[in-house]
Amino acid sequence: MIIERLRLVNFRNYGDLNLDLGKGINLFLGKNGQGKTNLLEALYFLSLAESPRVSRQVDLIKWGEEGFVVEAAGQESGLEYTFIAGFEGNRTSYRLNGKEIPLLKVPGRLPTAFFSPDDLFLLKGPPSGRRNYLDRLLFQANPQYRFYHQRYGRIITQRNNLLRQWQGGLRRQEELTPWNQELVSIGSRLIKERLLFLKKLAVFVRKIHRELSGYAENAELIYRSTIPLNNAAPALEEISQAFNAVIVTSLGQEIARGSTLFGPHRDDLSVLLEGRDLRSFGSQGQQRTAVLALKFAEAEFLKSELEKDPVLLLDDVFSELDQVRQNQMRRLLPEVGQVLITSADQTPFPTEFLQGATVFHIESGRLSQRTHPTVPAMAPSLRGGEDARS
């Protein structure tokens, strides 16, 4: 997918911005707080109908306004596409080529891979971050997965409520039975999909990691399930049987804690380097190389699954990388299709890189395009004239 035009209306600090994008690398330069990240967030919102930064859509509305709209026009394989997402009156709507579609069917229509500085701590951080990485990628690759994920979340909420009420003697055991059945049924599906996904993703991770490490190290992905599984590719029935056995034996522990302690909401992902868990044994440099491999593998995976080139969104990542890894990333970028990069500093980008990119500058709340990196930024000249005014 190539996004040719992007429009933001009352989104974050943008009142009405019209922006023409280049087909390859698009670089947005400017000091912090000017709205660079907001541009990437807007495209991500068109991709998943949610923000990678906040959970409430109302937080995306420009101050003093009642709603926002994000629009994009692009093409894929010679076909034209328009995407329009809006939020007003506590309701999110989405239109694809002029036709409204359910939000559950949005992921995968405009695939993106988003990379922020926080991702560099993906391996060192809590398991929830790694589960979120798996889930958001699967939302795009498999529309059914998001449906089951949301359903599973509701099951966990209801079951936990019953467990806490049981602590006080307000509930009987048989009331939990149907929720246990739902937990096992839907939870097993999520685990199965994650295992199938990781098997495919691991192929891209191994290839890209070897390139990044100079063919010196081998990376491996391991799914750490709270449900004991006998092999790396169990059948759905095997997962369900193991899950059910755990639910039966752990009931007393879960009642005491008032919480569901086993299932995909408690699982984790490990990255091994030459058989050793990077979270515990890897250096900071090794961990960051592995994260780079994960994010570039994400783009390759989406391309293979959806038969569409995802748009790669890189938010100020270069500033967090050493010179070696900056070079590694620049070398990979031309191979992944359309890219949007934000940076507060032009230093990581040599002249030959800038000459092959579409370069924008954000200063004092306004965007302008540079025709050549050695020429000062032009006066605001984007269609619509705006804008990043607060």
CB within 8 A of 83, min separation 6: which ones?
46, 71, 72, 73, 74, 94, 95, 96, 109, 110
For residue 231, pLDDT beyond 50: yes
Instruction: Please compute the mean of the pLDDT values over residues 109-123 and round it to a whole number.
Output: 90
Convert the pLDDT of each residue in 33-73 to its tens digit. Answer: 889 999 999 999 999 999 999 989 999 999 999 999 999 99
CA distance 230 to 243: 12
d(CA 169, CA 167): 6
Nearest to 137 by CA among 278, 330, 269: 269
What is the pLDDT at residue 364?
61
What pLDDT sits at residue 377?
Answer: 42
Helix (H, G, I), strand (E, B), or coil: what is residue 239?
A: helix
pLDDT of residue 381: 35
Q: What CA–CA distance (Å, rounded) separates 200 from 168?
A: 46
Residue 331 has pLDDT above 90, yes or no: no
CA distances to 54, 164, 186, 247, 375 from 176, rounded to whole Å, are 33, 12, 16, 11, 68
DSSP conformation class of 25: E
pLDDT in tens, 358-374: 999 987 668 888 665 45
Structure tokens at 248: 């039966």
Check whether 380 has a pLDDT greater than 70. Answer: no
- Provide the pLDDT for residue 337: 86
pLDDT in tens, 202-221: 999 999 999 888 788 889 99
- Summarize the confidence of residues 272-276 as an average pLDDT: 91
- C-alpha–C-alpha distance, residues 208 and 268, integer Å: 22
pLDDT band of residue 326 (cuts 50, 70, 90) is confident
Between strands 311-315 and 339-343, the pairing is parallel
Q: Where are the alpha helices (DSSP H) in the chain?
A: 36-48, 127-141, 143-167, 177-212, 236-249, 251-257, 278-281, 284-306, 323-332, 351-355
Mean pLDDT over all residues of the chain? Answer: 89
- 293: nearest Cα among 132, 120, 44, 131: 120
Give tens-digit pLDDT for 146-181.
999 999 999 999 999 999 887 666 566 778 899 999
Question: What pLDDT score was predicted for residue 140?
Answer: 94
* Statement: residue 376 has pLDDT above 90: no
Amino acid at 224: R
- What percentage of the chain exceeds 90 in pLDDT? 65
Residue 115, pLDDT > 60, answer yes
